[in-house]
Structure 1
Amino acid sequence: MQPHEPVNFARFLFLDPRGKTAYRHWNDSAEQIVALLRAESGRVPADRALRGLIEELSNGSSEFAALWEAHDVRIHLAGNKLFHHPDVGDLDLGYEVASGRYPE
């Protein structure tokens, strides 16, 4: 994988071979991030960087392309990410989107 800027979870999840072992529930994480990207692409359809990321992921990952074609849309404002780190083991990291990030 070539380094890209900015680094993001979607690239890591779908384009980096370590992505499949870094997420303990890879399929769930993949579905969630694609659904979130689908929601964001509907919210800001003219965003060139986002369109470029989606094209890059679609071309680089058949798994991403298949999930993208499912047209699932979800916004996750809070939850847990379940990672597996090769040195420290399993990590459960909670997240919450700051209020005001997504319009009601």
Structure 2
Amino acid sequence: MTETRPYDSAEFLDTDEAVAEYLAAAVEEGDAALFSHALGVVARTRGMTQIAREAGLSRESLYRALSPEGNPSLDTAMRVMKALNVRLTTAPAGSGQAVSG
């Protein structure tokens, strides 16, 4: 019998580039809950306490915002992304070309 274990994408988020690609894929899905979940996965890999501190949030409020029931504000999401050393970019829909700002 083959033994399996649950898949955890956090195991593969060991570089800033991997984090950026993971979050970009979540954004491309167009689902705010998925993006919030992805931010939570990445924050967990980097340490919630440290990310909360760098984002200027309490650990409890970060857990709450990134929980399945949470709905982080854009401000919170941007603070967390800055603490994760990634930035949000935009592009015209369907262009495949990101516009950085």
TM-score, structure 2 as length reference: 0.28
Which is richer in strand?
1
